[in-house]
Amino acid sequence: MSPRGSLVPARFLVLTAHLVVLVLLVWGPEPHVLASLPLEFSAQEHERAERLLGGALWGSLGLLGVELVGFFSGVSMFHAGQGLLSLGAHAAATLTLTLAVLERWDSSCFWLLFGLCSVPPAVTELLLMVSVLGCRRRRF
């Protein structure tokens, strides 16, 4: 199998792995919320930290959903540039999030991962969707 032909299954596996780790974090955010709080904290601080972490995680899930729609619709499935960007970003995010789960990182790290590993591939996916779907000529 050529390297270009193996890009599609590798991208699918990395997107699925990122999805699994994100769902795992959404179901069990409490250790990360507590890691980002001081030893003595109020209920408002706990709620704020929970909302910040939830925003990063749910935002990442939403942008991953956008990418999965573009991938499964076939818009970007065979686009080599998008495939490489998505593969690299989501592989890095999966590895880093796995370390975050194991070591119970605080919630500020998740926003950095959101900005570096979720936003760029989703933005390029959206641009690719607009360029592919918007440039079709309609016949009447």
pLDDT at 70: 92
Residue 28 placed within a domain: yes
Contacts of 79 (CB under 8 A, 6+ apart): 128
Q: Mean pLDDT throughout 122-137? A: 86
Give 55-102 pLDDT, tens digit per residue.
Answer: 999 999 999 999 999 999 988 888 889 999 999 999 999 999 999 888
Q: Mean pLDDT throughout 15-23? A: 95
Residue 68 placed within a domain: yes
Write out the residue range of the structural domain in which residue 113 sits. 7-134
Percent of the chain with pLDDT over 70: 93
Residue 139 placed within a domain: no
Q: Mean pLDDT throughout 133-137? A: 73
pLDDT at 139: 63
Counting the structural domains of the chain, the total is 1
Residue closest to 57 by CA, chosen among 97, 85, 86, 87: 97
Residue 69 placed within a domain: yes
Residue 140 placed within a domain: no
Amino acid symbol at 11: R
The alpha carbon of residue 123 and the mean position of all alpha carbons in its chain are separated, in whole angstroms, by 12
Q: Give the length of the chain.
A: 140
Given a cut of 60, whether residue 140 has pLDDT beyond it is no
Given a cut of 70, whether residue 13 has pLDDT beyond it is yes
Residue 2 placed within a domain: no
Residue 31 placed within a domain: yes
Tokens standing for 21? 């780790």
Residue 97 placed within a domain: yes
Given a cut of 80, whether residue 136 has pLDDT beyond it is no
SS3 75: coil
Q: Tell me the C-alpha to C-alpha distance, in Å, between residue 111 and each of 10, 60, 97, 117.
A: 25, 9, 11, 10
Given a cut of 90, whether residue 46 has pLDDT beyond it is no
